[in-house]
Amino acid sequence: MAVAGRTGANVIGVDLNEPMLRAGVARTRRPGGRGRVRLAVGRADDLPFPDATFDAVTFSYLLRYVDDPAATVAGMARCLRPGGTLASLEFYLPPRLWWRLAWWCYTRLALPVLGALTGGAAWYRVGRFLGPSISVHYRGIHSTITSQPGGRRA
């Protein structure tokens, strides 16, 4: 929504979860947007679009939910026009001990409590899930990078 509103671009949102897409349909039809937003059901590693369709592909918080992150990125890159932009937003684990400890407390203690206070039991469960999920994903990515020839250890 933000990309369409700020740039006037036509945007296609893709998700595997059809009920989630249905819930977002009303937001895509609000008046006043500069761009047009459509929604489609699909898998990131097998997008239902021809090669070289898009000027840009963006995704957020995806790679920790797929079985093969490299294949997923390749599937999205396939849909990019030559010279296009592929951009991702993901959580980060702070490398310094004190910041990491603060991050751990926030994700393991504050998020579940704040979720419960603002959204009830469902958001409490989301808050409890996020910290461990991010940690597991980061360990997997970090170990893959550092085990590659020429990989560096942080």
Domains along the sequence of the chain with CATH: 2-89 (3.40.50.150), 97-147 (no CATH)
115 in Cβ contact with 126 (< 8 Å): yes
Question: Residue 144: what pLDDT?
Answer: 54
Question: Residue 145: what pLDDT?
Answer: 46
- Rounded-to-integer distance, Cα 140 and Cα 152, Å: 15
DSSP 95: S
Question: Residue 108: what pLDDT?
Answer: 92
Would you give the distance in Å from CA 134 to the centre of its chain? 12
Render pLDDT for 9-38 as a digit per residue (tens, 0 to 9).
Answer: 889 999 998 988 888 887 787 766 556 888
- What number is the average pLDDT over the span 76-91? 93
DSSP 46: B
Question: Residue 104: what pLDDT?
Answer: 92
Show the tokens assigned to 99. 């910041």
- Rounded-to-integer distance, Cα 63 and Cα 104, Å: 21
Question: Residue 3: what pLDDT?
Answer: 85
On average, the pLDDT of the chain sits at 85
Render pLDDT for 116-130 as a digit per residue (tens, 0 to 9).
Answer: 999 999 989 988 888
